[in-house]
Amino acid sequence: MTDATASGNAQGRSRSLKVLDERTRKRYAAEKRFRYYGMGAVGVGVLLLVILLVSILSNGLGAFRQTMFELEITLTQAQITEAEESLLKTSVYRGFIEENMRAALTEAGIADEVETSQAMELLGGDAGSTLRNWAVGQRVTPVPEPDEGVTRTFNFLADGRIDGYFKGRVTMESAERDSRVTPEELALADDLREAGVLRVEFNPGFLTMSDASENQPEAAGLGVAIVGSLYMMLIVLCLALPIGVCASIYLEEFAPKNKLTDLIEVNISNLAAVPSIVFGILGLAIFINFMGLPLSAPIVGGLVLTLMTLPTIIISTRAALKSVPPSIRSAALGVGASQMQTVFHHVLPLAAPGILTGTIIGLAQALGETAPLLLIGMVAFVQEYPAAPPEGLFDPASALPVQVYNWTQRADPAFFERASGAIIVLLVFLAIMNVTAVLLRRRFERRW
């Protein structure tokens, strides 16, 4: 190396360490801009998620609180016995409530200003059936005298318009144009609330009651939809998990690599991208039209969701099996283990976290599906709870996403509030399933 070359290299090194040339400055600026773009994208995503959650919570949290009408009802033993024997109409039981309403108004100190019939207009439409169901199930041993009274305090649901008034959906101005409520009734509701007869409190019935008609939004609940979703998830878990895992093990560990297996793998990947409504059409054609299974039954919904979930489970299971290092297989085979022993004693336990995670994510995806369930008739109006399995799998039922769809199609604003509340319940279930998947992965994951 000459002195000129050494001097040139020394000057070049000096410039590269202390002075950034134009090309380097542009590269650093581009990297900084990309970092800012990434941070901005994350910020926008988080902002949209917060807006979505705030919107759902602000509209749906009111569904978990309901305006209750507290009344002390006294029925004679003769009335209770008559209820058990003849199942009187609910209008008769509303008459019993009206007989006890005067005492509540007197205790509130407004009996002189208010007619009992006016106060009865504030009650929800299911008050009579609530009292009748209690009277039918009331059995006293030994049987008291017919004239002896049985007293109990009931929390009846207030009318949907009155509930909407206390939640801000109904105002005095809107009541003047509403045929179902008057400003006088809203003023009476204010007086009863001040007296402690009416109050807004947590409503567990939203999670336990069945659906109600369009004229009784205050009585609509998620009970049947929750049971129907649980039944379908049970079917999907019992069918999709063993079938998907067994198919994945065979394709990944035992199947020969030829055109047939390549065709199967391509079709599995394509099925994972098929729109869910296509599986609904398939279920309608095969399970209902061909096999004759009942409409709106959890067994049909579970079978359709199983077909839809299988590709997801197979793909995630194969990915988990591939993540196990080949050295594990080679070591097991080297000490004399058969291929079956290698897979089930070594590979499968190490891949279990990924398999469980994929299964739970597939179940969460199936839990939120609506389109295939609409095609098999689960949009039907169902008020009766399905029986316990296995008979209950063939009884009519609904599902959480279908119930949300149903309520959004109804005109009363109270159903929109209940639809948002159902979305909150569905999100809670999905969050629990995803958190469970993360915990299982961290609990059983092994690092090499």
The predicted model scores a pTM of 0.84
Cα-based angle 44, 48, 50 (whole degrees, multiple of 5): 115
pLDDT in tens, 1-38: 455 454 545 444 555 555 777 888 888 889 999 999 99
pLDDT at 243: 93
pLDDT at 4: 47
pLDDT at 43: 95
Superfamily (CATH) of domain 223-444: MetI-like (1.10.3720.10)
What tokens does 42 get? Answer: 């994350």
Distance CA 238, CA 240 (A): 6
Residue owning tokens 């009996």: 111
pLDDT at 377: 81
pLDDT at 1: 47
Q: Which residues contact 201 (CB under 8 A, 6 or more apart)?
A: 65, 66, 68, 155
Any idea where the domains of the chain sit in the sequence?
Answer: 2-61, 65-209, 223-444
φ, ψ of residue 328 in degrees (nearest 5):
-65, -45
Burial of 1 (0-12, 13-18, 19+ CB in 10 A): exposed
φ, ψ of residue 399 in degrees (nearest 5):
-145, 160
Distances (CA, A) of 324 to 85, 198, 261, 269, 404: 68, 63, 21, 21, 42
Q: Which residues of the chain have pLDDT under 70?
A: 1-18, 82-88, 111-113, 138-149, 445-448
pLDDT at 74: 80
Cα-based angle 65, 71, 74 (whole degrees, multiple of 5): 145
